[in-house]
Amino acid sequence: MSASRVTGMNWIKYVTRHAKGETQSAIAKNIGVSGATISRWQSFAPRPENVTAFARAYNRPVLEAFVAAGFLTPKEAKEHPTGRPDLSTLTSDELVGEVRRRMETAGPENKPATAQHKKDSSDRYDLAADDHSDEPDWHDQLPNEP
């Protein structure tokens, strides 16, 4: 028996468990494929995009479905990515959530640089205290009127 057939059998058990008695036609409609595609799952491994569609349609984690389909081992599914994600693939909500998470956990090395200003005796910042007396005023550089 080929590996794709064994994987297909594990996948079918997963589909049956999570589709809870739905017909092949109903499953096909839910994930946007033909009934023939679902029927092939009886003997052969599904395509990755169909596994993803099934997981999303039936509110299952995609990694869980990839394990059931034999694309990943359980150990691989638990690994954490080491590279940076492609931000263009995130939804706006996911991107805002990531920015919010980073802002909440940011240490001093991740905080934006701020202007350095002198403090006065009341421990307030005195923006006017910067000494620029050696620099000409901007209005001194304007041409004189005739």
pLDDT tens digit sequence for 79-96 = 877 777 777 888 888 888
**CATH class belonging to 3-78:** mainly alpha
pLDDT tens digit sequence for 30-44 = 999 999 999 999 888
Q: Is 104's pLDDT higher than 90?
A: no
pLDDT of 125 reads 54
How far is CA 45 from each of CA 5, 8, 101, 141, rounded to the nearest angstrom?
A: 6, 4, 38, 76
The first and second tokens of residue 26, run together, are 């109903």
**Domain extent listing, the chain:** 3-78
Which residues does 21 contact at the CB level (< 8 Å), separation at least 6?
none
Q: Is 52's pLDDT higher than 90?
A: yes
